[in-house]
Structures are given as C-alpha cells and as structure tokens.
Amino acid sequence: MAKAAAKAAKAPKAARRKAKAADPDAPASPPHSLTWLQGLLCGALVAMAPALAVLLVVLLAPSLLALALERTSGRPVLRSVALCNASGCVAPVRALWAAGHGLAAATALLGDPRLLASAWAAGAAGWLLAELFPFGLRLVLDAAAAAQAARLRARRARLTAEWSLEPPGGGRPG
C-alpha cells in the first residue's frame, strides 16, 4: 500500500516535468547557488593559511565592498574592481610566501602604507574603469556615427550633383 501511495505522489511531478519539457517558452529553472562552496573554500583557507587569509581580506577590501554594494545584473563593477584589485595583491602575496608565510610576516606587510595604497588604488582604478568605460565608448561610437553621417551626406550631395537631381526635402540641402 505504501508503494502505491509513493507512486501516486510521484505521478504529478512526472507530469509537471513532461509538461515543462514540452513547453519551450517556460522559464528556465534558476541556477543553483554555489555560495556554500565559496564559504567552504574560504573556511578552508582560513583554517590552513590564516596569514594569507588575513592579508587577502585586508588587501581585497575594495572588492569585498563592491561585492556587498553592487546589485546590478552580471555585476560588471565587481568584476572590474576584483580583477584590478587582485592584480594589486600579487606582489604582497609573493612577499608573504618569501617571508615564511606567518602571521608576523602578514602583519608586517600590512603595516606598509605603500602596499595598502597600491592594492586599494588598483581596486579604485577598476571602479573608475567600470564607470568611465561606458561613457568613453559612447563618445567614440557617437563620433564614429557622426563621421559616417557626414560622409554619407557628402556622397549624397555629390551623387545629386552628378545626376542633376533635386536635393531631397524640397530643394534644401541637408
């Protein structure tokens, strides 16, 4: 009897699955979150290499701030800030490894204001890049479109004169 009840309970699920597969316009199921895996990896890093974890948390503060504040789809600012910020962390991490990979070495590295400034400035450069790149790209594309329009107007005027046609718009050039 329990088998029959379980089979009856599974039947609606199977029917829904078949109906969903048959409807191509049905919304896709949301992607599974990997937050638990990221937390597990961060916990393992803290447990196995606490000096590296301390150094990276402080140096990657701009990226962590962008992670907390950005809510746009695809997180373009976070990607830019994190990539630039990570590039600013390569030399300090190498220095930590060369200094013996201890907490004393990590705190000594964090005591250097130039090191913090360079890593945080790299994150700020990523933010600036993410904010100014769309504006600059728009300016370049607008300039290219205006130049193309000017070339086409000149070509139209040349063809109109060559074929002895009346300019479009009732005789007004333009």
Model confidence band, residue 5 (pLDDT cutoffs 50, 70, 90): low
Answer yes or no: is 18 within a domain. no
Contacts for 139-148 with beta carbons within 8 Å, 24 or more apart? none
pLDDT tens for 137-152 read: 999 999 999 999 999 9
> Into how many domains does the chain fold?
1
For 82, the token pair is 């994190």
Model confidence band, residue 89 (pLDDT cutoffs 50, 70, 90): very high
Residue the block writes with tokens 């948390």: 57
CA distance 7 to 113: 67
Answer yes or no: is 19 within a domain. no
Answer yes or no: is 123 within a domain. yes
Answer yes or no: is 4 within a domain. no
Model confidence band, residue 165 (pLDDT cutoffs 50, 70, 90): confident
Q: Tell me, what's the pLDDT at 171?
A: 57
Whether the predicted model's global pTM rises above the 0.85 cut: no
The C-alpha R_g of the chain, in whole angstroms, comes to: 30
Domain housing 109: 50-132
Answer yes or no: is 55 within a domain. yes
